[in-house]
Amino acid sequence: PPVIRREDYRAPDWLVPEVELAFDLDPARTIVRARLSVTRNGEHDRPLRLDGEELELLALRVDGEAREARFEDGRLVVDLPGSSAVIETDVAIAPEKNSQLMGLYASGGILCTQCEAEGFRRITYFADRPDVLSRYRVRLEADKARFPVLLANGNPIEQGDAADGRHFALWEDPFPKPCYLFALVAGDLQCNRDSFTTMSGREVELGIWVREADLSKTALAMQALKDSFAWDERTYGREYDLDRFNIVAVSDFNFGAMENKGLNIFNTRYVLADPETATDGDIDAVAAVVAHEYFHNWSGNRVTCRDWFQLSLKEGLTVFRDQGFSEDMGSAAVQRIDQVRTLRAAQFPEDAGPLAHPIRPDSYLEIANFYTATVYNKGAEVIRMMRTILGPEAYRKGTDLYFERHDGQAVTCEDFVRAMEDASGVDLKQFRLWYSQAGTPTVQARLEQDGEGTTLHLAQQVPPTPGQSDKQPMVIPLRVALIGAESGREVAAEQLVLLTEGEQTVDLGTVGEPAFLSINRGFSAPVLVDAVRKPGEIEALAAGDSDSFARFEAGQELMTRDMLAAIRNGGAVEVEAIVAAVGATLRSQSLDPAFKADAIALPGESLLIEKLDAADPARVHEVREEVRRAIGTRLGEDLQRAYTAASAADPTSLSGADKGLRRLRAATLALIAAGDAKLGASLGQQQYEAARTMTERQSALMVLAMLGTDASGKALDDFFTRFEDDPLVIDKWFAVQASVPDESNLHVVEALQQHPAFTLANPNRLRALAGSFAGTPSAFHRADGKGYDWLAEVIVAADKLNPQTAARFVAPLGRWRKIEPGRAARMRAALQRILAEPGLSKDVFELASKSLG
């Protein structure tokens, strides 16, 4: 397949200012009639070229005259003499045969669309690129009994009955948009209705459309939606612009959700939630995704991307915006820890592996493969760094200027950075390297104290990544403070240090006592910090750094240090420091429970593997378990006291305090079970049986499943029967069992694959099984390689149905560089087997071939 390169960008030859679409909807055969008014863009004599995929062309007319179709490289080519024309096409498509879930497809009796990035070409012939913006008028016609609700972008204009028990609706979207934001929905749906009055006093009708049975699970999403409207007005001065805002939930969806103009389509997973069926984490995720998609109305829709290489323009910015929303709605400190956890778990390995790419990639085979943690989460970190460097006020001036200057346009990352510069007067020339250089920088830090004063020595290295061997020093904003070794107080107040050179020294003045270095506070830069530590320094920071993120971080550094030492030297783990730190955290009277839960959790096995060369995953597991056991036995009483205290959480409350207690309860139960399996099993069983919320029930079930006793089998059966009719909960049933960290768990996974409730066709179900299994290193990395073989087979089978989702499971096999030679060879063999498969999609081909590298 051809490589698409950023440097090859050319403005479109033809623009399409107006589009009229008429859909004769039928799951088996839908007819789409399109009327495009096209105008020549600039002086040239090139024909109009329209993308199309799996379309049956029934008719083509140019200015009303029938025309013979001509195709070149799969595109429909239309020669046009003048500067404008009207192109009409009639095509047929088969939504119910669409298993890729791109374009128009059927999900549980609902017809819906997904067009980003290149799905619109599966609906009709079109210039399927984000820099062609059109005004849409859309007529939907369908059987009235089967599809009583007909929705599209914008505002409803007209509706009525048609012949043969059919009916129609006409929608018009006044805002020009790229076709990736087109959407329609037809189905038997019920609506949770509400309204929001915007800051200029306009009344917006809000609707969340779901199957009737799910209506009771939409209240939390509706609240999040109204909070999002208000937050974006307050924080970014952004007001909503249409009379309607609709959200529709569907069960089959490749991603989390989609920001189609005025008609967001969501994976049910990010809409439906109540405390009995969704955990606190799920509920927070619903709010974050609702906010994210809503915020796209400005960062994505009003101002969109010129080409797909600019994806981080809208995604990095919108993730940063939804993070700000979550920080303001809950505890900012806990949110920040979660954000960094996600970045470390998903983005750092990507940046360190064969699929590393800059947040603005230079080339791709399949754009669907670039909806990555790098583009999204590192992209958000890059926006955050700009805000840190400019300060909040100048940053806000910058976003105001950006939205005003580019409203209605399709622009580039460069345009965003320029708006930031113009609004602030700050030169971001060197900072732009964050857009072009891949790889996670390492910052080395050493504090030097003598009679004269305190000097911080910094150095940075940006590692080579595929296609980028030589790197230049980046601008790295580091929030730094010094903590007195004796007083425990900040002896040098926090300041922002901009590391811009390969090596740099910073004078931190004189402090009256020996000091410890608190660096990259709040995770001000997405880097790895390698600091020279004094004896006792990291322990002291873990016990008392005044920045809560840095305090968490010091604890993680301490745990990582001692576990890595044991993994490397093959001996027993030196657990004293870890046990002391966890004990102090558990006993603290001042720390909040959510923070405690984060602070006592050990870094995951994947994170440890990333830090090793030629890791033996079995050894990593063994060491980590040894530490968990030591904490469980040595701190049994502290854990039980904390567990009992946390059990006081009000199950009906979703306050931060109660959520924090539940989080601590889950974390302590897991450690209790690690120290005393019998006690863990009995507490787990009690908690399971008495559970009033999914948060309590799921954490108990996970502990029981890990212990693998008779009680766990009973609980799993009960869980299945209890929630049989709720697919999102059945996903959890699969995920819990596929996450058991045991070398023999592949058997369980294979049995689950044969379970009648399993299907490769539903992305949530597939992620629950294959994603959970591949995300559990000690089970996935069986020494005999059978875990890899299983995943490879699943990828090949899923690829035949849904390439985009199948490709998401390739990355775990690409981590072979970090694994010991025996397993690494088996991982490579699995990748080779995938590549040998005839008829592989370009999605899977691109990732598997790059992973072999």
Distance CA 670, CA 843 (A): 38
User: Is the sign of the CA dihedral 520, 522, 523, 525 positive or negative?
Assistant: negative
Task: Give 689's contacts (C-beta < 8 A, 6+ positions apart).
Answer: none
Shortest CB 292 distance to Zn ion, Å: 5
Shortest CB 131 distance to Zn ion, Å: 18
Shortest CB 371 distance to ligand B3K, Å: 5
Distance CA 620, CA 606 (A): 9
Nearer to ligand B3K, 311 or 707 (CB): 311
Shortest CB 288 distance to ligand B3K, Å: 11
E strand segments, 512-620 = 515-519, 528-531
Nearer to ligand B3K, 248 or 599 (CB): 248
Report angle CA 24, 25, 29 to the nearest 5 degrees.
95
Select the binding partner of residue 232 from Zn ion, ligand B3K, none (C-beta < 5 to 8 A, by kind): none
Binding footprint of ligand B3K on the chain (CB under 6 A): 116-117, 254-255, 257-259, 292-293, 296, 315, 368, 371
Q: Is 229 exposed, middle or buried (0-12, 13-18, 19+ CB in 10 A)?
A: buried
Nearer to ligand B3K, 366 or 553 (CB): 366
Distance CA 295, CA 320 (A): 10
Select the binding partner of residue 491 from Zn ion, ligand B3K, none (C-beta < 5 to 8 A, by kind): none
Task: Give 310's contacts (C-beta < 8 A, 6+ positions apart).
Answer: 360, 411, 412, 413
Select the binding partner of residue 368 from Zn ion, ligand B3K, none (C-beta < 5 to 8 A, by kind): ligand B3K
Select the binding partner of residue 307 from Zn ion, ligand B3K, none (C-beta < 5 to 8 A, by kind): none
Contact present, 321 and 380 (Cβ < 8 Å): no
Nearer to ligand B3K, 699 or 804 (CB): 804
Shortest CB 465 distance to ligand B3K, Å: 23
Nearer to Zn ion, 114 or 695 (CB): 114
Shortest CB 807 distance to ligand B3K, Å: 10
Select the binding partner of residue 605 from ligand B3K, Zn ion, none (C-beta < 5 to 8 A, by kind): none
Distance CA 223, CA 566 (A): 48
Report helix angle 311-329 to 413-424, nearest 10: 60
Concatenated DSSP letters for 380-399? HHHHHHHHHHH-HHHHHHHH
Nearer to Zn ion, 301 or 520 (CB): 301
Distance CA 668, CA 665 (A): 5
- Binding to Zn ion (CB under 5 A) within 274-333 occurs at 315, 318
Nearer to ligand B3K, 259 or 605 (CB): 259
Tell me if residue 89 falls in helix, strand or coil.
strand
Distance CA 68, CA 765 (A): 45
Nearer to ligand B3K, 325 or 643 (CB): 325
Q: Which of 681, 667, 604 is nearest to 635 (CA)?
A: 667
Shortest CB 692 distance to Zn ion, Å: 34
Select the binding partner of residue 443 from Zn ion, ligand B3K, none (C-beta < 5 to 8 A, by kind): none
Select the binding partner of residue 170 from Zn ion, ligand B3K, none (C-beta < 5 to 8 A, by kind): none
Distance CA 550, CA 557 (A): 10
Nearer to ligand B3K, 292 or 634 (CB): 292
Other CB atoms within a 10 A radius of the CB of residue 622 amount to 14
Give how many residues touch Zn ion by CB under 5 A: 2
Distance CA 161, CA 143 (A): 10
Q: Which of 628, 452, 443, 459 is nearest to 530 (CA)?
A: 443
Distance CA 584, CA 601 (A): 14
Shortest CB 180 distance to ligand B3K, Å: 8
Select the binding partner of residue 255 from Zn ion, ligand B3K, none (C-beta < 5 to 8 A, by kind): ligand B3K
Q: Is 140 exposed, middle or buried (0-12, 13-18, 19+ CB in 10 A)?
A: buried
Select the binding partner of residue 371 from Zn ion, ligand B3K, none (C-beta < 5 to 8 A, by kind): ligand B3K
Nearer to Zn ion, 315 or 731 (CB): 315
* Helix segments in 708-802, DSSP class H: 710-723, 727-738, 746-754, 763-766, 772-774, 777-780, 786-801
Select the binding partner of residue 518 from ligand B3K, Zn ion, none (C-beta < 5 to 8 A, by kind): none
Distance CA 403, CA 613 (A): 46
Shortest CB 114 distance to ligand B3K, Å: 7
Nearer to Zn ion, 258 or 735 (CB): 258
- Of the residues 53, 88, 118, 293, which is catalytic? 293
293 is catalytic: yes
Q: Which of 494, 490, 316, 533 is nearest to 412 (CA)?
A: 316
Distance CA 32, CA 93 (A): 8
Shortest CB 367 distance to ligand B3K, Å: 8
Select the binding partner of residue 492 from ligand B3K, Zn ion, none (C-beta < 5 to 8 A, by kind): none
Distance CA 625, CA 837 (A): 39
CA distances 392 to 209, 312, 317, 522, Å, are 37, 21, 15, 15
Shortest CB 296 distance to Zn ion, Å: 6
Give the residue numbers marked as catalytic.
293
Contact residues for Zn ion (CB under 5 A)? Answer: 315, 318
